[in-house]
Amino acid sequence: MVPSYSTIPQLITERAVHSADHPAIEHDGVTLSYAELDVRRRRAAAALLAFGINKGDRVAIWAPNCSEWIIAALAIHSVGAVLVPINTRMKGLEAGYILERSGARLLFCAGDFLGARYPALLAEHRPATLEQLVVIGDTEPGELDWVGFVAQGQGVDDAAVLARAAAVGPDDLSDLMFTSGTTGHPKGVMTRHGQNLRGVAAWAGCMRLTTADRYLIVNPFFHTFGYKAGWLAALTAGATVLMEPVFDTRRVLSRIADQRISVLPGPPTLFHSLLAEPDLASFDLSSLRATVTGAATVPPILIERMRKELGFDIVLTGYGLTESCGFAAMSEATDDPLTTATSCGHALPGVELRCVDTAGNTVPAGQEGELLLRGYNVMAGYFDDPAATAANIDADGWLHTGDVGVLDERGYLRITDRIKDLFIVGGFNCYPAEIERLLANHPAVAQAAVIGMPDERLGEVGWAYVVAKQGEKLAEASLIAWCREQMANYKVPRRVLLVDALPTNASGKVVKYQLRERAGEAVQAGAM
């Protein structure tokens, strides 16, 4: 389905007319109707104009799920600027790199979150290109808070805001989302208003979202799952957005019961946690209607339990990546549990999928090959990186995903492996090269090689093989503790194995399959 609006500000304007009094957001005891949301995003947009934010400028958000996150994002979209979401699990060094790389002029930043003071984390890594920091939440002397930020726009006429929003077109960039690459440095994925809205509408259609839905978003807003398949999809359908900044099993179950939640997507780990709650039967989950989950493997029993014990009528699985606006394939509500669990569904309308061999030839149905996709959802490219763009999108417009998959006779996709070293920890993509680059900053580390290993709770976790510098001593516990200070927690290796040397081939490249074999043997022997 192609939506009638072609830009995100047009979407909100339309919703403010047709769903004016319907609740758009409920958070921390405050309810915003669609009309009120429209007013608040225009006032925030006025403040951005007061700060001199121009069309095409990058504006970042580094904060947990909250209503200000959505309002700030809509304001950024409304002035024609480009939203740069930053992972809240990143440390100052990582966030500083993204801010510098994107050239972001303004940052909406958390105050205190999960025991960390975010402005302080960033302080020594703040790039010169960042002109203004707006703190969402508790502020300290000298910091500009959200109320003070919005007040800066009081002198900006609403007509100027509306004119800027009207100048935004479907082919303008809406966001720049950074995803790690095999080079070890994050790459900025550029996507546009029109293509994102088309993908969001297709996703919302598969989920059968309506204005009656109450959508609890636990997935973080910095991720496509929480942003595009999250609050943007909810607003597209005219549903009500509710949110959680941090997942807590009993709190989520209580909110489902008390606030009559009908839609709750998430990674398999979320549903494993809900189903493992000893008091599950004491919560009224009768309002739950629809969900979507996804991973390389989803146990069929999980799909069955989600339907029987959590009460979902619609349980879907899907496939997408940041480079495809987060959308590519989805299952059908009528699919049986085995199909839902063992596939990612079929291509969305307007999207093509094919699997190819190493020579680029399409392989027969049922045979493995690298997954390629083509359609309206393919990114505009990597930010300021034409070489990487050309390496990932070929002359015929096919995006090379780096995933190995199988398409059956019906066109249903099953992901079987990954060409790249990527592994996924609890729904978050981890790239060994990036973790290895961060490990190399440790003064006692000479070499490091990271692999992904199966984990019952998180799907996969990182194991690091580390060679110490000559004359230096390392201990597993202390190195893991150091990692927790230097990188996002999902990137932190769960095991560190100290070795004298890494296995390499004739060209000096680390032979990682040998490391996986070693780790697998150790697990089987019970040594790990």
Render 345-356 in DSSP notation, one character per residue.
-EEPTTEEEEEE
- The HSE-up count of residue 27 (CA atoms within 13 Å, CB side) is 24
Enumerate the CATH 3.30.300.30 domain ranges in the chain, comma separated. 423-524
pLDDT tens series, the chain, 528 aa: 566 799 999 999 999 999 999 999 999 999 999 999 999 999 999 999 999 999 999 999 999 999 999 999 999 999 999 999 999 989 999 999 999 999 999 999 999 999 999 999 999 999 999 999 999 999 999 999 999 999 999 999 999 999 999 999 999 999 999 986 444 678 999 999 999 999 999 999 999 999 999 999 999 999 999 999 999 999 999 999 999 999 999 999 999 999 999 999 998 878 988 998 999 999 999 999 999 987 656 778 888 899 999 999 999 999 999 999 999 999 999 998 889 888 999 999 999 999 999 899 999 999 989 999 999 999 999 999 999 999 999 999 999 998 888 999 999 998 876 777 778 899 888 878 789 888 988 999 988 999 999 998 899 999 999 999 888 999 999 999 999 999 999 999 999 999 998 887 644 568 888 898 898 888 887 766
Q: Which pLDDT belongs to residue 526?
A: 72
- Tally of CB atoms within 10 A around 135: 23
CATH of domain 423-524: 3.30.300.30
Q: Which residues, 6 or more positions from 59, have their beta carbon under 8 angstroms from its beta carbon?
A: 48, 53, 72, 76, 81, 82, 83, 84, 104, 105, 106, 107, 108
- Quote the pLDDT of residue 268: 83
Give the alpha-carbon dihedral of 429, 432, 433, 434, to 10 degrees. Answer: 50
133 beta partners: 107
Which residues, at least 6 apart from 319, have a Cβ–Cβ distance to it below 8 Å?
294, 328, 329, 330, 344, 345, 413, 415
How many CB atoms are located within 10 Å of the residue 343 CB?
Answer: 25
- Distance (Å, whole) CA 396 – CA 380: 14
pTM for the whole structure: 0.86
Span 8-193 CATH architecture: 3-Layer(aba) Sandwich (3.40)
Residues of the chain with CATH 3.40.50.980: 8-193
CA distances from 340 to 22, 156, 308 (A): 33, 51, 15
- Of 359, 362, 382, 387, the residue nearest 372 (C-alpha): 362
What whole-number distance in Å separates Cα of residue 434 and Cα of residue 182? 7
How far apart are the C-alpha atoms of 453 and 331, rounded to whole Å? 27
Distance CA(320)–CA(308), nearest Å, equals 27
DSSP 283: S
Query: Which tokens belong to 423?
Result: 């592994």
Q: Which two tokens stand for residue 208?
A: 């059968």
41 touches 33 (CB < 8 A): no
DSSP state of 324: G
Between CA 84 and CA 326 the distance in angstroms is 15
